Amino acid sequence: MSAAGNPNAGAQARAYVPDNVETPRMPVTPRHALPAGACDTHCHVFGPYDQFPLQHPSSYAAPDAPAARYLRMLDTLGAARGVLVQPAPYGTNPDALLDAVAQGAGRLRGIAVADPGVTDAQLRALYEGGVRGLRFVEARDPAGNLFPGSVGFDQVAALAPRMKQFGLHAQLWAPCDIYLRHLPALAQLDLPLVIDHMGSVIPARGEQDSVFQMLRGLLAEGRIWMKLTVCRVGAAPDYDNARGIHDAYAAANPDQVLWGSDWPFVRMGAAAPSADALVDLAHDWLGNDALRRKVWVDNPARLYGFE
């Protein structure tokens, strides 16, 4: 990518090549076929590290998950389309993401990371490279610091006017209670907001939980989108404790819910699920072909601008 398109241009180059990498769990063919045009809206690529080294030391085992392996994973699931999300260790350097999107030859879109210092030329280059949103993260370490490479929720408002200008939405990830503090204001920005991982809600709190109530309400009003990545909320192997939350979101606004596997399942190690099992679970929980088509095909096509 040229310097004009790289939000890290001008910054001191830093490169971290992991000493050891973790081979991600690969799926087998699901029992249930995905509908034509189906999209997995939440995955990540890492590497090859000799070509795309990390920009920050990773706080988790670095996956061996280059574009070629990711595309084989999508093909095995039977997913025609995919959305790649920039992982924090790459910071604001989009090179690995954009290279993977280009390898997808039209079947992929990206969610990048940028801070308010990004130029209009860089935002335009991201969009032209297939990026359709920017990710903001409020996950912090025990000392209260954002994970290296993350851009926090407090930067969304400053970027929002230019994000709208360049056709980019905001994707948000945080521990559940953080949304209570930030979402009411963010929802006033007239910017599409996509909530990662079912809002990170805690199933044991039940449906009367104030975070869940707020998220479901904003979803019902069409002010947010929700990713149904159940493996980050429910308890393996069947995730039944997340079923009520999943179904409530789908019922609240079936036109603004999305499905994602979250492959290659960072921080999960040996507990990582198989993406084919997640497909089969979603097939069962969604319950009918009309809803399956909305969640897997129509909704992502509309949000990410697939043909």
List residues with catalytic annotation. Answer: 262
Give the angle 136-250-215 at the CA atoms, nearest 5°: 45
What length does the chain have?
307
- Cβ within 8 Å of residue 44, ≥6 positions away: 63, 65, 84, 85, 86, 87, 263, 264, 266
Residue 259 Cα distances to 226, 227, 273, angstroms: 9, 6, 15
The two three-digit tokens of residue 30, written as one number: 């699901």
SS3 247: helix
Contact 94, 151 (CB under 8 A): no
For CA atoms 238, 239, 244, 249, give the dihedral sign: negative
Tell me which H or E stretch contains 225: strand 225-227
Under DSSP, the state recorded for 51 is: T
- Cβ within 8 Å of residue 143, ≥6 positions away: none
For CA atoms 29, 32, 35, 39, give the dihedral sign: negative
